[in-house]
A and B are shown apart, each in its own frame.
Chain A
Amino acid sequence: MDMKITFSSLVMILVWFFPFRAASPERMIQIPGGPFLMGEMDKPTSSSQTVTVDEIWIDKFEVSNAEFTALFPEHTYPEGSGRHPVSLVTWEEARRYCEQIDKRLPTESEWEKAARGTDGRPYPWGNKKLRRKAHPSISGMIKRIVGFNKRDVSVYGVRDMAASVWEWTMGRSQGKRVARGGVWNHHLDYEYSRVYEFIEVAPEKAYIFLGFRCVR
């Protein structure tokens, strides 16, 4: 009897543990160190340059509401959206979250290499826009679970770097912090950002379209 219980418990633990680990957004992806082509390359006025970064590990997915709230319980989110990317967090809150789990925010160059690899591609998946839009006929910020778009995958396997939410980085510009990424449901506008696109945001601001991921 004791053996059966022990065996059953073991099976249950294995069944629970492996799928959970396989789907866990805790996972990080290794981005090898070395040079890559950074910046705008697909226009005549290109401003690309070769930049070298050190090896890093980057979160495969953006930090979710549930993950963020585990460390910052005062942060609230709509019921049922625990696996949506966290947003409405300031740059400082994002930095503190990463710090508490022995990680940090990525630099712009680290973020961009994780998104495009070394060959200068403008989108994480390659050179062409995806013909199929993620959310046809939807305008404005409507979030989905992290990793929802199976096509938005970088050459290293990092997810949601052309869309989902914009992401805070360590980058600075004119007293503001630089965010990378994009959202996928503009109205009368492109649906996916190119990997070199950026926005400048005052660090004390918190927007529904702005989240983050961490590196180590």
Chain B
Amino acid sequence: MRTLKKIGRRGFLRKFLLGAVTTIVTVLKPFSGSLYIAQARFNFWRSSEYVGKTREGRYKTFYIQYYKPFRRIERMGWRLKVRGLCEKPQEFSLEALKALPRIKQTSRIKCVECWSAKAEWEGFSLLDLEKAVQPRPEVLGVIFRCADTYVEYLSLKEMHHERTLLVHTMNQEPLSDEHGFPMRVIIPFKYGYKSPKAILEIEFVDRPKRGTWTQIGPYSTDGTILPGYDHPLDQGKKRRRIFGGEIRD
């Protein structure tokens, strides 16, 4: 009886611990690694649906590329965190960002994998965000951290270029999750991997940082579109020559 009682306690403890571990692993498995860290820091994920790479359906004419799948972002819970070397680090709601002076432009995203696609984008310049957060004089650029754990660096000079935008609207509609809701960069003279999507955080820094693709893939840190060829999805992928920089048509 004494033995049975002793085994019962141990068994209970073992089952309890096993159950607890199983529960924790089951709950946290989708958020393993840095995505889990993002989950802990940014508590605005929506449902269990995931966004990721696709070329199906409506995306046949505008391919979607993400580094990793991630859970859809809840609009009301999302805040853009702006921090780093600035006098007034703060968070912005989507409504606050949409209230900044709006700029519209039609431009093409050129992927390093040869295809390109065009859209009308609407957003704002980083310069207008800087008026609120006041970056310090030593700042050289910004690091973007995204929902798919993608990281990209762009210099202030590149971000201040007249064709570079932080956009929240695409073809008169709010950005879809696939195209980078709630906010993405559009920098049309660089390959698409320099236009991060689903941005969670902007950090002002005083030294360049290598982005995700340039660390794990065969991509240069600069990312300027080189002279070569383009296969525009909206023109039946018909091969055409390009002379480098932004593709204007």
Which residues of A are in contact with B by a Cβ distance under 8 Å? Answer: 137-142, 166, 182-183, 185-189, 199-201, 205, 207-210
Decide: A188 near B227, CB < 8 A? Known: A139-B218, A140-B220.
no
Q: Which range contains the number of B residues in contact with the other chain?
A: 10 to 19
Which secondary structure characterizes the binding site on chain A? loop
Q: How far is the CA of A139 from the CA of B219 in the complex (A)?
A: 5
Q: Contact mask B140-176 → A, CB, 8 Å, 1/0?
A: 0000000000000000000000000000000000000
Residue B13, interface by CB 8 Å = no
Is the beta-carbon distance between A199 and B220 smaller than 8 angstroms? no
A contact residues around B228 at 8 Å (CB):
186, 189
Closest to B189 in A: A207
**A189 touching B222, Cβ below 8 Å:** no
A/B interface sample: 10 pairs, CB < 8 A: A139-B218, A140-B191, A140-B222, A187-B218, A188-B113, A188-B114, A199-B244, A201-B245, A209-B224, A209-B227
Which residues of chain B in 210-249 are interfacial with respect to chain A, using CB atoms and an 8 Å cutoff? 217-220, 222-224, 226-229, 243-245
User: Are B219 and A140 interface neighbours, CB within 8 A?
Assistant: yes
Closest 4 A-B residue pairs measured CB to CB? A140-B220, A199-B243, A137-B218, A199-B227
Q: Which of B191, B218, B224 contacts A138 (CB 8 A)?
A: B218
With a CB–CB cut-off of 8 A, which chain A residues contact B245? Answer: 201, 205, 207
Contact check, B243 vs A141: say whether CB atoms are below 8 A apart.
no
The answer, yes or no, to whether B112 is at the interface (CB within 8 Å) is yes
Query: Which residues from B are CB-within-8-Å of A208?
Result: 222, 224
